[in-house]
Amino acid sequence: MFQGETAITIDDKGRLAIPTAYRELVARECESRLVVTYNPYESGCLWLYPVKVWEEVRDQVNALPMAKRVHRTLQLKLVGSATFIEADGNGRVLLPTSHRNAAGLEKKAVLLGMGNKFELWSEQSHLAQIRQTVGDEDVSEDMLDLAL
């Protein structure tokens, strides 16, 4: 559904414009509504889900037993912080201040299409991720079978 990298500017009010390449798709598939939540695995990044995809993710996460600390942390970061956002007539969405602050998002950011969701990275965090290389010790068995 979503793929690609787009440099994004977040305005002084905390709004970002959905790239024109995705606006029609977001309007059609999501009725211009997305859900923004924290990336539970990496700082400097927010996840933006289409509502229907989000509902599936939310239900899977909430089905995990809360007695395990790691499950509870995942539930807090994903479900507890999830906020509905809606594109205005100009294709802009308002990101909650708390989410922007937690992810360190300022004026310059990068929006990545990651299939079923977007990832919104601060420019600095994105550059740090891109500059990291995968070492031999990080390659999993599953990765060995990929045709890269």
Quick: pLDDT tens for 47-67. 999 999 999 999 999 999 999
Determine the Cα–Cα distance for residues 60 and 79; give it in Å rounded to an integer. 10
Determine the Cα–Cα distance for residues 99 and 90; give it in Å rounded to an integer. 22
Q: Residue 1 in contact with residue 115, Cβ under 8 Å?
A: yes
Classify 2-53+82-124 by CATH class. Answer: alpha beta
Residue 141 has pLDDT above 90, yes or no: no
Cα 94 to the chain's mean position, in Å?
14
**Quick one: which of 28, 30, 25, 16 has its CA closest to 91?**
16
Q: How confident is the model at residue 146 (pLDDT cuts 50, 70, 90)?
A: confident
Residue 140 has pLDDT above 90, yes or no: no
pLDDT at 143: 81
Global pTM? 0.90
pLDDT at 130: 86
CB atoms within 10 A of CB 146: 8
Least confident of 110-114, 120-124, 126-130: 126-130
Q: 118: which residues sit within 8 A by CB, 6+ positions away?
A: 2, 34, 47, 48, 49, 111, 112
Q: Residue 93 in contact with residue 10, Cβ under 8 Å?
A: no
**Quick one: which of 14, 32, 36 has its CA closest to 22?**
32
Residue 110 has pLDDT above 80, yes or no: yes
